[in-house]
Amino acid sequence: MNLEISQRSLGGSPAGCGPIRPEAEASGHSLRYRVFECVRSAGQISRIDLAKQLKVSPASITALVGELLDLGLLRESNDTTRSSARGRPPVALSVQPDAGYFVGIKLARAQHTALLVDAAGRPLAQANLACQPRRRSMAQILQETGQVLDALLAEAELARADVACIGLGMPGMIDHASGQMVWSPMLTDTDKPLRRLAEDAFGVPVAVDNDANLVTLAELWFGKGRAMADFAVVTIEQGVGMGLVINHRLYRGAGSLGMEIGHTKVQMDGALCQCGQRGCLEAYIADYALVREASTALDPANTDTTAPDVMLQQLYEQAKAGNEAARVIFRRAGRFLALGLANVVNLFDPPLIILAGERMQYDYLYADEVLREMHELTLNRVDTPQQVETHAWGDLMWAHGAAALALSEIADAMAEGRG
């Protein structure tokens, strides 16, 4: 295993983090929580602007801000958005960064990625743990998670006790509410209490989710979806996943197992999926599906010993160089992706679909003809076609989402007075 660590600001100070939602859509939470959330999403805001945005009296804001200052969740600083010619400089509110430290960890078959953020969502350090791309037991995955966690904290000169929450994600079917790992292509075990086992192992509160939801949370908290009420994210890597945001909130389904677009059926009795069933969408467009077909376009003498990532890159290079067999493989995968995306549109009609994941480097999968076919397979979209964007953050995309998962679990509870 190889461990890489970097301690630095990863992109500078953000202009806030978390969903940006109209006050009319923030019902159901206490006013104190809404004050905290508004400050967090703005990054920096004055009391008077806070009162205007929340449509409450300045006196109410003053009282609630006082409580949040006493709790150590907010701080006062000079308002850099306003100028004052004389007298005291204007005062702004922002989240107190050291109100807590949060860790996001994305577990993957060949590399685990960890990110440390403060309570304001500012990245402080990251760590990557390279490992053998094989299935492993729950005990092994927890041991590897502990390695990358401890290395990250050692570099930041923190202890596990300093961490308010760990957000942990992996591919597969993860029940966020119960913390149960139902199934994962990474693991030999099934139906294991992932959250409880991780909390026992690390002595820190843990929140768990599947990796597609992590990417969706990354977009909702740090990316393109912060101010959008509704959008969908489709990820393409070793598997195919989906996340859905409805009214500024991640939708998981009744048992936290919804949005498994990769396991929707596109061909009865079709190709074998890594879940054990046949005809799943991901069995035609995920990494292992492209690798399965690659031998028809590449030198068969070398495909048996070539690593899957290398084979995929060779396949793409051959397609770009004019190899018709390689092009057919990508075109076929693109058509299946168009079918899957059309089903998303027909079911949910999101204004935006974000395509993410490592396979976004293969432009064949989102070429113009793929998107045209997607639109042709949807209903009533002639005048207002669905917006589709690609967004490849790299490995930190997943870890950002895991950090957002941790932030949403603990910071919200603290502001509501539950923590």
Q: Per-residue pLDDT averaged across 7-25, rounded?
A: 64
Residues 278, 266 share a domain: yes
Q: Which of 52, 81, 97 is the last residue of a domain?
A: 97
Regarding whether 167 and 250 lie in a shared domain, the answer is no
Q: What confidence tier does 9 reach under pLDDT thresholds 50, 70, 90? A: very low
Q: Are residues 350 and 253 part of one domain?
A: yes
pLDDT, residue 5, reads 45
Q: Are residues 294 and 255 in the same domain?
A: yes
- Residue 259: the pLDDT is 92
> 107 and 192: one domain?
yes
Domain-embedded: residue 17: no
Residue with more model confidence, 153 or 297: 153
Contact assessment for residue 128 and residue 104, using Cβ atoms and an 8 Å cutoff:
no
Residues 122-152 pLDDT 10s: 999 999 999 988 899 999 999 999 999 999 9
Among 97, 125, 145, the domain-final residue is 97
Task: Based on the fold, state whether residues 313 and 383 are members of the same structural domain.
Answer: yes
- In this structure, are 8 and 53 located in the same domain? no
Does 129 reside within a domain?
Answer: yes
93 and 103 co-located in one domain? no
Number of domains, the chain: 3
- What does each C-alpha distance from 203 to 181, 407, 409 come to in angstroms? 19, 17, 16
Task: List, for residues 72-114, the tens digit of each pLDDT value.
Answer: 999 998 776 665 555 566 789 999 999 999 999 999 988 999 9
Residue 250 maps to a domain: yes
Q: Is 261 inside a domain boundary?
A: yes
On the question of pLDDT at 356 being above 50, the answer is yes
pLDDT of residue 14: 44
Residues 273 and 334 in one domain: yes
Q: Are residues 298 and 377 in the same domain?
A: yes
Q: Note the pLDDT of residue 305.
A: 64
| The model's pTM | 0.90
CATH of residue 316's domain is 3.30.420.40
**Within a domain: 18:** no
pLDDT for residue 347: 94
Please state which of the ranges 2-16, 264-278, 299-313, 318-332 shows the lowest mean pLDDT.
2-16
Domain closes at, from 97, 128, 149: 97
Is residue 85 in some structural domain?
Answer: yes
User: Does 122 fall in a domain?
Assistant: yes
Query: What average pLDDT is seen over the chain?
Result: 88
Q: For residue 38, give the CATH number of its domain.
A: 1.10.10.10
| Confidence bin at 362 (pLDDT 50/70/90) | confident
Of 12-21, 191-200, 231-240, 368-377, the one with minimum mean pLDDT is 12-21
269 lies in the same domain as 376: yes
pLDDT at 67 over 70: yes
Asked if the structure places residue 287 within a domain, the reply is yes
If asked whether residues 152 and 232 sit together in one domain, one would say: no
- The pLDDT score that the predictor gives to residue 136 is 95
Residue 381: domain span: 226-390
The pLDDT, as a whole number, for residue 294 is 86
Residue of higher predicted confidence among 253 and 84: 253
Tens-digit pLDDT profile for residues 176-226 = 999 999 999 999 999 999 999 999 999 999 999 999 999 999 999 999 899
